[in-house]
Structure 1
Amino acid sequence: MPWNERMSSVLLLFASLLAIMIPETQQGPHEKLLLNNLLATYNVLERPVANESDPLEVKFGLTLQQIIDVDEKNQILTTNAWLNLDEKNQLLITNIWLSLEWNDYNLRWNESDYGGVKDLRITPNKLWKPDVLMYNSADEGFDGTYQTNVVVKHNGSCLYVPPGIFKSTCKIDITWFPFDDQHCDMKFGSWTYDGNQLDLVLNSEEGGDLSDFITNGEWYLLGMPGKKNTIVYQCCPEPYVDVTFTIQIRRRTLYYFFNLIVPCVLISSMALLGFTLPPDSGEKLTLGVTILLSLTVFLNLVAETLPQVSDAIPLLGTYFNCIMFMVASSVVLTVVVLNYHHRTADIHEMPQWIKSVFLQWLPWILRMSRPGKKITRKTIMMNSRMKEMELKERSSKSLLANVLDIDDDFRSVSGATGAGNSTINTNLGAGFLRNAATIEDSSLPGSGNQRDLQLILKELQFITNRMKKADEEAEVISDWKFAAMVVDRFCLIIFTLFTIVATVAVLLSAPHIIVQ
């Protein structure tokens, strides 16, 4: 005997033994008879009421399961398989169980007549069921429910619990992003029956059932209240009843706090440290530009997760714009600092207002001082008075005396000391003329020694003037460099205060800070 035939015989023998060991079961005829009697004259188009003028009451309930995942690449927020919030397209995708309960007048029987059969499971296409749909559906098929059996009891009570995935439009408010709360409505109602024919009633006054809800890592469910509405639309004079569930969710901000806000604060602090970097290092401007580009990248990451609407500016975007404005201003002021630091006396002359502001008042306010020069209010006032006295003295001299930088020897002075001053001025004038005559005589032939002395005198005067000019230029360069240091210190303090105030203001203005 072939091996296949041998195995077939063994299996047949084993099946015969099982048939002998297991007792035979007989299916009762009561359920079949009941179905035949109920559905023989049943019309699926007939509204099952005893009186056609009475509305059929349908109890409506909703059970929410879970919040799922975020698909940022496709700009879809899929809250963990069950609740999906598409922020770009402003869609709410939910996996829920609907609960429809009504009483069918035509599906009643006496259980004692049918062997104690209390309930039946019948496919919905053989029974009348309410055409309840979601009004704000965004699904391609409009209805995303899965057709399940209807549980029918002997008193005519019908329970229909179809699970499904629903896509509904949802207005996303990004004003407080990422510290935002979203309220998404799901509006259910009969599509063809008005309120006089079908009356929807909430199954529970608390709203949706959240007993089976599984927590999500990005969204925290606040609640899902329900409300019954009766509205008269422009198309029809009859009132239409709907039940609206509002899914209230709050964004968990821990991810955004540590991945967007904290890096932004750290990057802005690096921009502040740029003011402490010496201008001679050559990296002062490069650091500011690099930080500005980094903030731009972070701002683009925020923009990718938000809908492209102009209704409101998100709170995080406002904060990033403030920090970017601060960093951009720091780059501009860094250019000013470098300009001041590298100025020379032969190209730029320091104006008087810059000397007064950046060399006197601001260093005194910021408690800055130069080596060997202590800046106090008293020294500032003394310097101002000395400059005023110098201007008055120069204005009282003659033109020749100002040009030669000597006392005015050629002007008579009246008054009580006029005679003494006239004598002194006359002697000084005579000495000045005598020196001029000596210089003229030194140019005559035969006066070689005097000519050599005159050349030596000129060389000494040239060297002295050159050294004096070099000292003056070095002092001017030092003044410009100190002015650059003052601007750096002033910007460091101002921008530090701006960053702290902006950060605290953003955090305090948010409805909530951190939801774990």
Structure 2
Amino acid sequence: MVRSEQALALLATAFLLFIMPPGSQQGPHEKRLLNNLLGPYNVLERPVANESEPLEVKFGLTLQQIIDVDEKNQILTTNAWLNLDEKNQLLITNIWLSLEWNDYNLKWNESEYGGVKDLRITPNKLWKPDVLMYNSADEGFDGTFQTNVVVKHDGSCLYVPPGIFKSTCKMDITWFPFDDQHCDMKFGSWTYDGNQLDLVLNSESGGDLSDFITNGEWYLIGMPGKKNTIVYACCPEPYVDVTFTIKIRRRTLYYFFNLIVPCVLISSMALLGFTLPPDSGEKLTLGVTILLSLTVFLNLVAETLPQVSDAIPLLGTYFNCTMFMVASSVVLTVVVLNYHHRTADIHEMPQWIKTVFLQWLPWMLGMSRPGKKITRKTILMNSRMKELELKERSSKSLLANVLDIDDDFRNVSTGGNNASMTTSLGGTFMRHPTTIEEAAVPSSGTQRDLQNILRELQFITNRMKKADEEAEVISDWKFAAMVVDRFCLIIFTMFTIIATVAVLLSAPHIIVQ
């Protein structure tokens, strides 16, 4: 079996050798053609039939991949085939350049050279246009790989060097992370002016994007090209360049879910601090922790942005507004805690605080104390009743104010006041009055006892009133703290919602996947 297979293989080999021509005709013809073409060829000679006319070079660019967009250093790195390509402020791309021109000295009759229609010649043996990228950020300036030049029998030359290009690109971070970037790649001859070498776009639509590999961070909008003829101040001759503009848009899904959503959630937690009871002891700690968290997020964003002062990024503006809100909430939390723990021995509530925080703000916020419904009518009535109470107290006698009873002896003379007082109170202590006179006029010992009792009653009453007043003042301060908490909760909630909506609506686009 093995021998039969070997025999079949030998027969197949012999058959192939039989049907093939006796020898290859290409090798000798190409050698002769190369000797005839390159022998008298001068690589320094501009290949034109008439030196007064410019040599036309068709220039194109095929963008294969956006490797990196370095916002911090403002560099764009691309991988491209050079069809004539240009970059602007650090864009790293993979590009294929394409240079096409006609060499007057590289023409032959294919029938004289065994049907040889084209040749592959190394670029250092031929004249080729010295087209470079003006705004290159590469260490070697030219990032192309020197490939062979394809030369056809009619003299047309095609040079397609691939390369990874680093170009400077001015980054506009105003709308970060909802931004679009336009990075220019400017190509032109380094030594030939427009009268000697004329660059022409091989496609009016710009660069070729058919082989583009999508980038995870950037969405490619387009890559238009434009031919420019510029007369510089140094030289009277016009210089021609071709500029390709890579228009890219940042994909915001990553930033939306990793920066914006956590920022909104953290700022929402700051609002919950206003609902936390002051006695819990964690009210201030929560606000400070949230402020530190936002600071860390802002530092993460700052590390990815270029250190320029041309514009403030939209996300940075939003973070600063949120940090200002959280910092303000910490300050107001200190005010709330201060109000909550105030006592009557140290602080006396001013009248404006009573008017604002105990009457008008609670009425506007719909707040009320147990058993005390606050309305505009009750506010006005309370003010009126306080005035009447002050007038009534000023007209009552000392005993009536002390005992908090009605004063029925206001029309009696000063001397009769003692008799009336002792008659109303002393009669209860005289168990066996013998006569009307004895019943009406108490003894001196009884009068002293009554005075001592009155002093004790006055002392006890003052202590009770003072305790009630202190408790009422403490209750007023705590209620004022609750009002400030509720007011801040509403204000900062509105601020957070308005700031978030304003940032999202002001962005050119919200989400690009």
TM range (shorter): 0.7 to 0.9
Give a deviation string over 1:245-293, Cα, whole Å, max 9, x none.
0000000000000000000000010000100000000000000000000
Counterpart position of 2:431 = none
CA contact (8 A) 2:131 2:190 kept: yes
Q: CA deviation at 1:217?
A: 1.2
Are 1:476 and 2:461 matched, yes or no? no
Give a deviation string over 1:409-448, Cα, whole Å, max 9, x none.
xxxxxxxxxxxxxx97551533335579999xxxxxx955
CA contact (8 A) 2:61 2:80 kept: no
Counterpart position of 1:196 = 195
Alignment of 1:76-475 (within 5 A): 90-390=89-389, 404=398, 425-432=410-417, 434=419, 448=445, 450-475=447-472
CA contact (8 A) 1:132 1:188 kept: yes
Question: What is the CA–CA distance in structure 1 between the aligned matches of 2:76 and 2:245, rounded to whole Å?
Answer: 18
Q: CA deviation at 1:315?
A: 0.1
Question: What is the CA–CA distance in structure 1 between the aligned matches of 2:15 and 2:99, rounded to whole Å?
Answer: 45
User: Which secondary structure state, in structure 1, belongs to the residue aligned with residue 319 of structure 2?
Assistant: helix
After superposition, the Cα gap between the structure-2 partners of 1:152 and 1:326, relative to the gap in structure 1 and judged at 3 Å, is same
Counterpart position of 2:506 = 509
After superposition, the Cα gap between the structure-2 partners of 1:227 and 1:428, relative to the gap in structure 1 and judged at 3 Å, is farther
After superposition, the Cα gap between the structure-2 partners of 1:431 and 1:337, relative to the gap in structure 1 and judged at 3 Å, is farther
CA contact (8 A) 2:78 2:166 kept: no
Q: Name which of structure 1's ranges 453-462 and 206-215 shifts more when overlaid on structure 2.
A: 453-462
Question: What is the CA–CA distance in structure 1 between the aligned matches of 2:77 and 2:238, rounded to whole Å?
Answer: 36
Question: What is the CA–CA distance in structure 1 between the aligned matches of 2:473 and 2:174, rounded to whole Å?
Answer: 53
After superposition, the Cα gap between the structure-2 partners of 1:78 and 1:201, relative to the gap in structure 1 and judged at 3 Å, is closer
User: Which secondary structure state, in structure 2, belongs to the residue aligned with residue 65 of structure 1?
Assistant: strand
- Give the letter for the 2:459 counterpart: F
Question: What is the CA–CA distance in structure 1 between the aligned matches of 2:399 and 2:228, rounded to whole Å?
Answer: 98
CA contact (8 A) 2:77 2:90 kept: no
CA contact (8 A) 1:79 1:219 kept: no
After superposition, the Cα gap between the structure-2 partners of 1:468 and 1:79, relative to the gap in structure 1 and judged at 3 Å, is farther
Q: CA deviation at 1:458?
A: 2.7
Give a deviation string over 1:40-64, Cα, whole Å, max 9, x none.
1100000000000000000000000
Are 1:498 and 2:498 matched, yes or no? no
Counterpart position of 2:35 = 36
User: Which secondary structure state, in structure 2, belongs to the residue aligned with residue 328 of structure 1?
Assistant: helix
User: Which secondary structure state, in structure 1, belongs to the residue aligned with residue 187 of structure 2?
Assistant: strand
Give a deviation string over 1:383-407, Cα, whole Å, max 9, x none.
122234445667xx6xxx6894869
- Give the letter for the 2:468 counterpart: D
User: Which secondary structure state, in structure 2, belongs to the residue aligned with residue 67 of structure 1?
Assistant: strand
Give a deviation string over 1:53-79, Cα, whole Å, max 9, x none.
00000000000011235789x978887
- Give the letter for the 2:416 counterpart: G
Question: What is the CA–CA distance in structure 1 between the aligned matches of 2:375 and 2:212, rounded to whole Å?
Answer: 70
TM-score normalised by structure 1 residue count: 0.85
Question: What is the CA–CA distance in structure 1 between the aligned matches of 2:397 and 2:410, rounded to whole Å?
Answer: 17
CA contact (8 A) 2:80 2:97 kept: no
After superposition, the Cα gap between the structure-2 partners of 1:259 and 1:373, relative to the gap in structure 1 and judged at 3 Å, is same
Question: What is the CA–CA distance in structure 2 between the aligned matches of 1:253 and 1:53, rounded to whole Å?
Answer: 54
Q: CA deviation at 1:489?
A: 0.4
User: Which secondary structure state, in structure 2, belongs to the residue aligned with residue 470 of structure 1?
Assistant: helix
After superposition, the Cα gap between the structure-2 partners of 1:403 and 1:287, relative to the gap in structure 1 and judged at 3 Å, is farther
Question: What is the CA–CA distance in structure 1 between the aligned matches of 2:151 and 2:416, rounded to whole Å?
Answer: 135
Question: What is the CA–CA distance in structure 2 between the aligned matches of 1:37 and 1:80, rounded to whole Å?
Answer: 40
User: Which secondary structure state, in structure 2, belongs to the residue aligned with residue 62 of structure 1?
Assistant: strand
Q: CA deviation at 1:167?
A: 1.1
CA contact (8 A) 1:98 1:162 kept: yes
- Give the letter for the 1:104 counterpart: D
User: Which secondary structure state, in structure 1, belongs to the residue aligned with residue 67 of structure 2?
Assistant: coil
Question: What is the CA–CA distance in structure 2 between the aligned matches of 1:352 and 1:57, rounded to whole Å?
Answer: 90
CA contact (8 A) 2:344 2:470 kept: yes
Counterpart position of 1:413 = none
Counterpart position of 2:57 = 58
Question: What is the CA–CA distance in structure 1 between the aligned matches of 2:254 and 2:235, rounded to whole Å?
Answer: 49
User: Which secondary structure state, in structure 2, belongs to the residue aligned with residue 427 of structure 1?
Assistant: coil
CA contact (8 A) 2:343 2:470 kept: yes
CA contact (8 A) 1:69 1:81 kept: no
TM-score normalised by structure 2 residue count: 0.85
CA contact (8 A) 1:272 1:492 kept: yes
Question: What is the CA–CA distance in structure 2 between the aligned matches of 1:17 and 1:309, rounded to whole Å?
Answer: 77
Question: What is the CA–CA distance in structure 2 between the aligned matches of 1:330 and 1:107, rounded to whole Å?
Answer: 80
Question: What is the CA–CA distance in structure 1 between the aligned matches of 2:264 and 2:213, rounded to whole Å?
Answer: 34
In structure 2, runs of 5+ residues without a counterpart are 1-9, 82-87, 402-407, 426-442
CA contact (8 A) 1:75 1:305 kept: no
Question: What is the CA–CA distance in structure 1 between the aligned matches of 2:455 and 2:391, rounded to whole Å?
Answer: 32
CA contact (8 A) 2:61 2:95 kept: yes
Q: CA deviation at 1:108?
A: 0.4
CA contact (8 A) 1:64 1:210 kept: yes
- Give the letter for the 1:372 counterpart: G
Give a deviation string over 1:137-165, Cα, whole Å, max 9, x none.
11111111100000000000000000111
Question: What is the CA–CA distance in structure 2 between the aligned matches of 1:81 and 1:157, rounded to whole Å?
Answer: 26
After superposition, the Cα gap between the structure-2 partners of 1:98 and 1:463, relative to the gap in structure 1 and judged at 3 Å, is same
Question: What is the CA–CA distance in structure 2 between the aligned matches of 1:77 and 1:167, rounded to whole Å?
Answer: 6
Give a deviation string over 1:157-186, Cα, whole Å, max 9, x none.
000000111111110000000000000000
- Give the letter for the 1:202 counterpart: L
After superposition, the Cα gap between the structure-2 partners of 1:56 and 1:77, relative to the gap in structure 1 and judged at 3 Å, is closer
Question: What is the CA–CA distance in structure 1 between the aligned matches of 2:311 and 2:396, rounded to whole Å?
Answer: 68
Q: CA deviation at 1:454?
A: 3.8
Question: What is the CA–CA distance in structure 1 between the aligned matches of 2:95 and 2:291, rounded to whole Å?
Answer: 46
